[in-house]
Each structure stands twice: as C-alpha cells, then as structure tokens.
Amino acid sequence: MNIILFGPPGAGKGTQSQYLVKKTKGFQISTGDMLRDEIKKETEIGKKIINDMNEGRFVSDEIVNQLIRDIIFDESKKNKLIFDGYPRSISQAKNLEFLLNESNQNIDFVFFLNVNKETIINRIEKRKVLENRSDDDLKTIIKRYDTYMETTKPVLDFYSKYLNFHEINGALEIDEITRKIDTFINV
C-alpha cells in the first residue's frame, strides 16, 4: 500500500506517517528528513538545500525528484511507501505518477491534513522547544506556510479529483486525526 500525506509545515504529517509506518509495515519517505540528511552530510546538494530553506523557498523539484527516484525503485520498499510531504508541486506529482507507473505501483490513499496558520504557529513554537529543529524559525515557517498554500493549491486540485483523496481537519488532536485515517485504511 502506498500513501501520500500532505499539508503545510507543522500539520502533523510526520507524526501520522510514523503511525502509518507501524500500522502498514511501510517505509516513511520524508523529503524533509532526506533534505536535512543532505544538509548534515554537507553535500553540494545539501548546500543548495540550506540556501533555499533559509530563504523560505522550497527546494527545487529537480533535487527532490532525484532523491525520490532511488527509493521508489528499491524492491524492498515496493508498495510500502508512506510519502510525508511529497509531492509539493504539480511537477513533483506528475513525476511521482510517472515513477510509480514505471515501477508498476500506484497510490492507494491521499490524505490532506488541512490546518490554518494560527494552529501551525502554535505547533511550530512547541516543536522548536521540544525538537530543537533548525528549520523551525517562526519567520521562516510563516513564509513556508504561505508559500506552501500558494504552490500546493494545484497539487490539492490534482489529487482531490481522485476517489482515494481524503481531506482531514489537521487542527484536531493527534489521536483524532489517526482515528479518521484509520476509518479509510483496513490493515
């Protein structure tokens, strides 16, 4: 089973992805984690990523798509992918569709965790204290939220036409969101 979870930064995608990994025995594909790993390794890609993130921009589709391709074609992960925050653009959505078709896979469920800016700000402030994440600067997060809402609208429109698309109120408590997701997934 392949699942996409998307929503603005701080919507709870990572938390729900971790739950789904346990439930489905799948693999979390977090572009955020992949990008932070490249930064930590101080690769050339990592340097480009940190520059984009510090400016509040999304990392280029080319970089993200390059990192995703290897995962999709890993036989041990086939039909066990939980996409956390990917795709974020129409280009990425089309790339994902192409790669999945090429690898004889599909998306079983798409969950959009819809959360307003005020809730995100509160969550990010708490997360910054608890997790000490370098990308949790409030100004940067607000810019990323606004950019996300602007650039992801076409992705939302792209997936909302599918029967396996489900919008969930991401402002709910974690366990309430999990229960809503569970109503769709029978594993």
- Taking only the tens place, the pLDDT of each residue in 95-154 is 999 999 999 999 999 999 999 888 888 877 777 777 766 655 778 778 878 888 888 889
pLDDT at 187 over 70: no
Chain mean position to CA 160 = 16
Whole-model pTM over 0.85: no
Q: Which of 163, 158, 154 is nearest to 184 (CA)?
A: 163
Dihedral angle of Cα 81, 168, 182, 95, to the nearest 10 degrees: -20
Whether 72 is in a domain gets the answer yes
Whether 35 is in a domain gets the answer yes
- Taking only the tens place, the pLDDT of each residue in 49-85 is 888 878 877 788 888 888 899 899 999 999 999 999 8
Domain of 99?
Answer: 3-178
Instruction: Kindly report the backbone phi and psi dihedral angles of residue 132, in degrees, each rounded to the nearest multiple of 5, phi listed first.
Output: 50, 45
Whether 16 is in a domain gets the answer yes
**Residues 173 and 84 sit within 8 Å (Cβ to Cβ):** no
- Taking only the tens place, the pLDDT of each residue in 16-49 is 999 999 999 999 998 878 888 889 999 888 888 8
Q: Which of 111, 104, 89 is nearest to 23 (CA)?
A: 111
- In this prediction, residue 136 carries a pLDDT of 57
Q: Say which CATH number the domain at 112 has.
A: 3.40.50.300
End-to-end CA distance of the chain: 10
- Residue type for 34, please? M
Whether 140 is in a domain gets the answer yes
Domain count, the chain: 1
